[in-house]
Structure 1
Amino acid sequence: MTARGEGVTGARYALGVREILAAAVEEELPAIQKAAELVAHSFAREGVFYVFGSGHSHMFGEEAFYRAGGAVRVCPILKGPHMLHEGAVRSTVLEREKGHAEALLEGYRLEGGRDVLLIASNSGANPLPLEVAGVGRERGVPLIAITSRRYATSIERPGPRLHDLADVVVDNHCPPGDALVELGSGLPACGPSSTVVGMTLLNAIIVEALGIQLRAGETPQVFMSANMSGADRHNSRMVREMSSLVPHL
């Protein structure tokens, strides 16, 4: 969908996001539930929920990690060259090259039968996220994908897509090219949608996983906002428990 019509372009964008988000939440609830069950099962076995995305999708890992109100047992996969701050253009080049997954995953446990991996890739077509998915599958780690099936299937390039490899696919319902607002003839559309929608889906998975734990009689582990009373002691205890598993703490 691309938002059209009269009015302020910012409002058109916000309305477009609202429409996509509503559709994604309504239609992806079964997938969110399945993904949350995988994460809850991992948490119950003292596993780690790994989150990976390259380029702008690296923000999914940062959103889930060490987050006020977020799950404790989360580890982002963050390597500078595959993010943006060390070179945005270079990160795009690396994302579309083959052969980087093993080096990227050095230092992360990714243990089958205990951990779970989520990969966010809007197009689901670039070699890096596909190869990371392949390594995860080889290690027996369940794979959750947040992606756009419509974007992925619109790309005229041979080979599998991320949604072909994942155990659970949560579709963000975003359009090919990601942007929602048409500015005019001869101009690219603007207003990216995949991050705001995808982050909501990611947090829905995490919150549901914590709820599953609670309903099973387990105690969910959640970080507190640092300015809340008792947060320093609470969070320090959680960090001590996870520091050997999460290199970014």
Structure 2
Amino acid sequence: MMALEYIKEIEKNIERIKDTQMDSIQAASQLIKEAVKSKKLLHVFGCGHSQMYAEEVFYRAGGLVPVNAILEPALSLRPEAPKSTWFERLSGYAKVILDNEDTKKGDVIVIASTSGRNAVPIEMALEAKKRGIHVIALTSGEFTNDVTSRHESGKKLIDIADVVLDNCGVSGDAVLEIEGFATKFGPTSSVIGFMILQSVIAQAISDLIHNGDDPSIWVSSNLDKGDDINKEHIKQYKEKIKCL
């Protein structure tokens, strides 16, 4: 049953994460913990399907409040998905995007790019570093090592990041195949990437609490008094976070 085979591939990928990525997960969580402790923001950015990572951890019940999702419309799959591919390769665009965000030295940004080769994610990392923002890359090491950079510097996302979170995915992202059918299918980056990011944030929250801090956490608006709690969070962060 191919559905079960896909689940087994995800389970194998999770085991690889546990075996190889815990030091990076810890390092990423420490950057976020220090940023939150210092009243800074965690920004999350991606292009195309990688925008989902920003949406996953922003305004999310059980998640950190000081998270800014950078959701540039031209880089989304709406209304015409192929345009996002073109814009992701456009040199100079990342600076324009970041210039329109409220960033501070000591902030942290997660930049998600499974291949790590396109101009906008690479330039976003370079621009963030210029501003004193710590850069965490969420990518695939195997995919990155199998392709060339599309940035004029020749660098890839992993060459710039302070911390690299490897989703341990394969080149091309898809893991399933059927004999006689040429194209692989069954991508893994999203489900694994969500797990990695949520584990990083869970560790950061835990560390903050154990250090005596009181991190702001969103609660479900479908719980009693949830709206009232979240309204206070919005009031506190609305001027800093564009999407609020």
Query: TM-score, length-normalised on structure 2?
Result: 0.96
Q: Give, in angstroms, the shift of residue 172 of structure 1.
A: 0.5
Q: Give, in angstroms, the shift of residue 239 of structure 1.
A: 0.7
Secondary structure, aligned partner of 2:90: coil
**1:157, 1:40 → 2: CA distance?**
31
Alignment of 1:1-249 (within 5 A): 8-113=1-106, 115-157=107-149, 159-249=154-244
Matched AA of 2:62: G
**1:186, 1:207 → 2: CA distance?**
41
**2:76, 2:115 → 1: CA distance?**
17
Q: Give, in angstroms, the shift of residue 18 of structure 1.
A: 1.2
Unaligned runs of 5+ in 1: 1-7
**1:118, 1:220 → 2: CA distance?**
19
Deviations 1:8-37 (A, max 9, x none): 111111110111022113321111111001
Any conservation in 1 of the 2:48–2:81 contact (CA below 8 Å)?
yes
Any conservation in 1 of the 2:46–2:54 contact (CA below 8 Å)?
yes
Q: Give, in angstroms, the shift of residue 214 of structure 1.
A: 0.6
How many percent identity over aligned positions?
33
Matched AA of 1:198: G
Matched AA of 1:101: A
**1:184, 1:75 → 2: CA distance?**
44
Any conservation in 1 of the 2:42–2:66 contact (CA below 8 Å)?
yes
**2:23, 2:127 → 1: CA distance?**
26
Secondary structure, aligned partner of 2:136: strand
Higher mean C-alpha displacement, 59-68 vs 220-229: 220-229
Any conservation in 2 of the 1:118–1:143 contact (CA below 8 Å)?
yes
Aligned to 1:3: none
**2:18, 2:46 → 1: CA distance?**
21
Query: TM-score, length-normalised on structure 1?
Result: 0.94
CA RMSD of aligned residues (A): 1.2
Secondary structure, aligned partner of 2:232: helix
